[in-house]
């Protein structure tokens, strides 16, 4: 169901259990990786979100068959033909940024790829220079022509690639190219996110040889043509950003919640910050149990590449701090345009002052419900969370952004006792 608004009213403390599906930031890359080898794949724990539908549309456009299982709602079937079209069309790619990760596997499989420059959330430029430079170092010729990235290589050759920054997207694209290259590849300063490890596990199931998983140096022994990759089944790692959303909602509304499927080991620093704010966070069998008092305390925090606090976590921390006691300073080190949601929180009465990539948050006792607008997936979800701590009604418009990353955020919060609905 398409949604346009999320309507939130504050109410009683949250209580109960909520489950976390597979990670958006992993499943889209796993779907792209299926392009590396002909055959049938089954991905389980797949979230029913808009971005998965968009990636499915992209895979169909290049020749694949993608269908949801008729019995298991989280099981996705992907059939990859012997020949695929190595062109990712603009009308699909411009709708979500993760689409650029088809570049590496298309190039590896077909010797050429033409991918439109990606679109996606609007919180500052995220150039693909590192993707391009890395592929060039593996023997590809890459040009940007009329809004498309056009790459070709008679044969990809293993080599050493040093990333200027531990870019998740660049690491993923290079991994998928390197597993089919001839010879060994080393990717230094690679991203270390759990979603990268999930991709490495899937590629290993497909027959790839990858060392250093979870570290900043990945070593890949490319299959070339001697040992071709093959299809595999895989369950997607749980979504740590969705888990953080539920924990933040609890922090604003207070109460006790069990987040089933949440991986504490994937969000240790965030859980440490929540503990400093006054929440009781306990890793439990199959999830995280959390208790929050009526009002939290503010903390200082900065976003950093994993294992630091994720940039996707920051809007939720700011929403929590908006009604916490004291003053907190937050720093966004990764995306300079990501404080746009702060203006919407100010409409709700939040006392937040921004300066470049810093924000000073002075907590108020209560926010005031107001009409606000979602600029991106996490901003929209964070505004809904903030509404749990506001007097009156908060209406989050342009909530279609939220549906790109959440199966049913309003329904999940309502299941815990929150007064939230989507329409």
Contact 220, 187 (CB under 8 A): yes
Which one of the listed residues 53, 69, 121, 355 is annotated catalytic? Answer: 121
Phi, psi of 267 (to 5 degrees): -145, 40
DSSP 205-253: HTT-EEESTTSSEEEEEEETTTS-----EEEPPB-HHHHHHHHHHHHHH
Q: How far apart are the C-alpha atoms of 75 and 92, rounded to whole Å?
A: 23
Block residue for tokens 């149990």: 289
**Rounded alpha-carbon distances, angstroms, from residue 227 to 152, 154, 180, 259, 363:** 22, 18, 9, 42, 59
Q: Which residues pair with residue 390 across a beta bridge?
A: 367
| SS3 call for 360 | strand
121 an active-site residue?
Answer: yes
| SS3 call for 83 | coil
**Rounded alpha-carbon distances, angstroms, from residue 176 to 173, 187, 345, 374:** 5, 12, 40, 33
Return the active site residues: 121
């Amino acid at each position: 169901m398409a949604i346009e608004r999320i309507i939130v009213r504050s109410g009683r403390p949250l209580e109960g259990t909520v489950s976390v599906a597979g990670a958006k930031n992993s499943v889209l890359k796993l779907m792209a990786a299926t392009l590396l080898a002909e055959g049938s794949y089954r991905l389980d724990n797949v979230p029913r979100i808009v971005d998965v539908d968009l990636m499915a549309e992209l895979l169909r456009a290049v020749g694949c068959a993608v269908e949801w299982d008729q019995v298991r709602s989280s099981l996705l079937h992907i059939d990859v033909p012997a020949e695929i079209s190595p062109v990712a069309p603009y009308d699909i790619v411009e709708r979500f940024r993760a689409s650029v990760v088809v570049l590496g596997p298309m190039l590896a499989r077909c010797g050429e790829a033409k991918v439109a420059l990606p679109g996606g959330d609007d919180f500052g430029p995220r150039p693909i220079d590192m993707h391009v430079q890395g592929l060039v170092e593996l023997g590809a010729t890459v040009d940007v022509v009329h809004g498309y990235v056009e790459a070709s290589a008679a044969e990809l050759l293993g080599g050493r690639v040093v990333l200027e920054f531990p870019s998740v997207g660049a690491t993923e694209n290079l991994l998928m190219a390197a597993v089919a290259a001839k010879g060994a590849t080393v990717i230094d300063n690679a991203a270390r996110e759990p979603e990268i490890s999930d991709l490495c596990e899937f590629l290993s199931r497909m027959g790839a040889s990858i060392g250093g998983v979870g570290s900043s140096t990945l070593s890949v022994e490319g299959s070339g043509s001697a040992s071709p990759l093959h299809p595999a089944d895989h369950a997607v790692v749980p979504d740590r950003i969705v888990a953080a959303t539920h924990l933040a909602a609890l922090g604003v509304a207070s109460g006790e919640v069990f987040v089933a499927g949440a991986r504490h080991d994937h969000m240790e620093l965030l859980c440490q910050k929540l503990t400093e704010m006054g929440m009781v966070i306990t890793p439990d069998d199959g999830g995280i149990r959390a208790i929050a008092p009526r009002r939290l305390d503010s903390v200082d925090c900065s976003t950093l590449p994993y294992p630091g606090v994720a940039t996707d976590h920051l809007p939720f921390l700011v929403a929590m701090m908006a009604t916490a006691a004291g003053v907190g300073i937050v720093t966004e080190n990764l995306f300079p345009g990501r404080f746009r949601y702060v203006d919407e929180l100010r409409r709700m009465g939040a006392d937040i002052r921004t300066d470049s990539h810093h924000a000073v948050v002075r907590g108020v006792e209560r926010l005031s419900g107001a009409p606000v607008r979602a600029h991106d997936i996490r901003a929209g979800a964070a505004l809904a969370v903030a509404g749990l701590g506001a007097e009156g009604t908060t209406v989050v418009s342009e909530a279609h952004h939220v549906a790109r990353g959440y199966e049913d955020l309003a329904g999940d919060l309502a299941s815990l006792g929150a007064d939230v609905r989507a329409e």
